[in-house]
Amino acid sequence: MALDIGKCFNDAFDVYKRNVLIIVLSGLLYLVITQFTLMILAGPVLAGYCIMLLNAMRSEAKKIELKDMFSMFNRFGALLGLFVLQILCFISLGGIFLGTMWMFIFFIAADKKQNALTCFETSWNVVRKNGFWTNFALVVIGSLIMSLPGILLQTVLNNNFAVAILVNSFTVPFGLLLIASAYLQETSQEAAEIAPAE
């Protein structure tokens, strides 16, 4: 199914406006936990965040359940490994092109319980089949939404890290909601191809 960026924004706004307080709190928790544990908990927390957003989008009430954010610690090792592998790939190869190819790896890991290498492969297959450049555009838009306000305020306020964290707690959840909508759109007709691993 081709990606509809307009639908991504509609879906993201729908969930965001119904859960403003809890989604900002979850964004703040996510940022604080990952930053202050030196990224050691980044893998399971990010996967938990992804499944939290997917569950909200799939539910009729569009309600965020904060407990979902901490539901992936039973796969701590695998998700930490996935996070490290992702970072190593970006350091060694770099670029937003890889960010587009692998935009869904944590959503797939959380939703389909696939291993790390399969997550990378599956994400690329989904992106390739549904239009690389449309997905690329969404990644650029989402990245700007998630990072630019915090960077600008941090610059204006002389590198005030606390302000950047606070601003990002509003923007990062919205950017991830855009990706969650894209994931649901693009995998809705490919369930058989990304079935949960045995």
Q: Is residue 194 part of a domain?
A: no
Radius of gyration of the chain (CA): 16
What pLDDT was estimated at residue 1?
65
Q: Is residue 196 part of a domain?
A: no
Q: Is residue 82 part of a domain?
A: yes
Domain holding 41, by residue range, is 5-187
Residues 66/22, Cβ–Cβ less than 8 Å: yes
Local confidence pLDDT in tens for the 198 residues of the chain: 679 999 999 999 999 999 999 999 999 999 999 888 888 999 999 999 999 999 999 999 999 999 999 999 999 999 999 998 888 877 766 678 998 999 999 999 999 999 888 999 999 999 999 999 999 999 999 999 998 887 887 777 776 777 888 888 999 999 999 999 999 999 986 544 454 444
Q: Is residue 195 part of a domain?
A: no
Residue 122, number of CB atoms within 10 A of its CB: 22
Helix (H, G, I), strand (E, B) or coil at 61: coil
Q: Is residue 113 part of a domain?
A: yes
Tokens 């950047």 locate to 164
Which residues 6+ apart lie within 8 Å of 116 measured at CB?
Answer: 78, 81, 82, 85, 105, 109
Domain tally, the chain = 1
Q: Is residue 73 part of a domain?
A: yes
What pLDDT was estimated at residue 163?
80
What pLDDT was estimated at residue 191?
46
Residues 47/105, Cβ–Cβ less than 8 Å: no
Q: Is residue 152 part of a domain?
A: yes
